[in-house]
Amino acid sequence: MSALGQIGSGSLVEDWDDFLIPYKQAVDELKVKLRGIRAQFLKIDGRSPIEFVTGRVKPVDSIKEKMVRRHISEDRLEEDMEDIAGLRIMCQFVEDIYQVVDLLRKRTDINILEERDYVHNKKPSGYRSYHIIFEYPVQMLSGEKVILAEIQVRTLAMNFWATVEHSLNYKYQGVFPDDLKARLQRSAEAAFKLDEEMSEIRDELQETNQKSSDGSLRKLPDENSHIQ
């Protein structure tokens, strides 16, 4: 029997459906809470640093595969696998990422254990995102159960690149010629440059609107001035 086949024969995860109940509940609760924050921002400010929120519980096959790959035993699964429950918060701008992170730090219903800033400290592949590992208490029929979960905060451009790169990695099992790896890295940089450009455009528009309200409208730079 393969290592994957052997996983699940122990007492901890004989019933995966039962094991995953608190993780599913956590994802559902956190999606509601985060979407509620977005709605409040929209009502008060007209815009929100949160564009949209997604969440998922890691599929059982993926859990088993990661247990083998990371040498995680069944009795350490709840402590050593941080992303069984995972959420993603998408933002329009890079600056929004850090505003969302600050909001999460102030919450009393989560206990942040670790933060990983891959936005300004990208992975070798070019991947960028902000990861937060935290504890979250779930109220079960049997009492409170604290689980580990992960939130990834990223821009829409970062998410597009990461989603496509992940699907390519899955399809081709991470086996890429060096020239294609380099192209993926360059495309990641292009996505980040797009984020930076959109932030600059927003800032210039805000400055122009501010000066306009003061009675001194400033002409925007010619769009061709950005062409190199």
Name the catalytic one among 65, 78, 95, 150.
150
Assess contact for 161 and 183: CB atoms under 8 A. no
Higher pLDDT, 9 or 104: 104
Give the number of other CB atoms < 10 A from CB of residue 165.
18
Structural domain span for residue 103: 3-172
- pLDDT for 44: 96
Give the number of other CB atoms < 10 A from CB of residue 52.
14
CATH of the domain at 76: 3.30.460.10
172-225 pLDDT, tens per residue? 777 778 888 899 999 999 999 999 999 999 999 988 888 776 655 455 455 444
Question: Into how many domains does the chain fold?
Answer: 1
The verdict on residue 226 lying in a domain is: no
107-144 pLDDT, tens per residue? 999 999 999 999 999 999 999 999 999 999 999 999 99
The mean pLDDT value of the chain amounts to 89
- Burial zone of 57 (CB within 10 Å; 0-12 exposed, 13-18 middle, 19+ buried): buried
- pLDDT for 24: 98
The verdict on residue 227 lying in a domain is: no
Nearest to 122 by CA among 186, 56, 52: 186
DSSP 81-140: -TTSEEEEEEESSHHHHHHHHHHHHH-SS-EEEEEEE-SSS--TT----EEEEEEEEEEE
49-76 pLDDT, tens per residue? 999 999 999 999 999 999 999 999 999 9
Mean local confidence (pLDDT), 6-16: 60
75-108 pLDDT, tens per residue? 999 999 999 999 999 999 999 999 999 999 999 9
C-alpha span between 228 and 220 (Å, rounded): 18
95 is catalytic: no
- pLDDT for 214: 63
**Token pair 């459906």 is at which residue?**
17
In the chain, the amino acid numbered 202 is R
The verdict on residue 150 lying in a domain is: yes
